């Protein structure tokens, strides 16, 4: 009569945040970061197929099972809408056929209705949430890019001394990659492009 209890599977590996915190320099090796990012991509794609925009991706909300695989948790900020997953087949021009270039089909699973809620953890919030524009599942891919950055560099890229400065940085600061930590895939790619490139 006095308690509401949530019963979940036990994840003996604890939070990804704690695992990251125990690493030297608080960073993962690239192969570990790639593994965790790939698993999160699979989880996000599944949620998006169901019409769920997760909206709170961060290391504290990623739990590790006994076998090292991840579980996403904490769905209190999630947004449920409709989704029509489909495959886009790219047309192959005659010129491309001659050069034997092939572009595989693309799987699209974006939930269809945007949201205007101001939600999320400040260092992971996408620019469109801060500006109040309607946001879609693209904010989950933004957060994935921030997560990748944190796993590789030990900090989030736009963190400021306070909330206001963090939001200013997200909206206006150029993304930079510390030269003191060598990473193979450092380039001028956007965070989303970087995330897609890293897990392929």
For residue 40, the tally of other CB atoms under 10 A from its CB is 23
Tokens of 194: 């970087």
For the chain, the C-alpha Rg in angstroms (whole number) is 18
CA angle 111, 115, 116 (to 5 degrees): 160
> Residues near 117 by Cβ (< 8 Å), separated by ≥ 6?
79
Q: Which residues are catalytic?
A: 56
Q: Name the residue among 2, 49, 8, 57 with its Cα closest to residue 191.
A: 57
């Amino acid at each position: 009569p006095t308690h509401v209890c949530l019963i979940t599977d036990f994840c003996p590996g604890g939070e990804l945040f704690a695992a990251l915190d125990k690493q030297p320099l608080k960073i993962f090796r690239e192969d570990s970061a790639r593994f965790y990012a790939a698993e999160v991509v699979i989880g996000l794609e599944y949620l998006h197929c169901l019409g769920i925009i997760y909206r709170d991706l961060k290391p504290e909300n990623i739990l590790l099972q006994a076998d090292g695989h991840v579980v996403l948790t904490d769905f209190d900020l999630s947004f449920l809408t409709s989704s029509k997953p489909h495959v886009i087949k790219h047309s192959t021009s005659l010129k491309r056929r001659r050069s034997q270039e092939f572009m595989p089909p693309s799987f699209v699973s974006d939930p269809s209705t945007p949201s205007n809620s101001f939600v999320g953890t400040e260092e992971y919030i996408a620019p469109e949430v801060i500006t109040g524009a309607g946001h879609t599942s693209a904010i989950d891919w933004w957060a994935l890019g921030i997560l990748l950055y944190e796993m590789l560099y030990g900090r989030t890229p736009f963190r400021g001394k306070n909330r206001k400065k963090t939001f200013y940085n997200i909206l206006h600061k150029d993304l930079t990659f510390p030269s003191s930590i060598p990473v193979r895939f450092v380039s001028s790619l956007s965070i989303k492009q970087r995330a897609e490139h890293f897990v392929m």
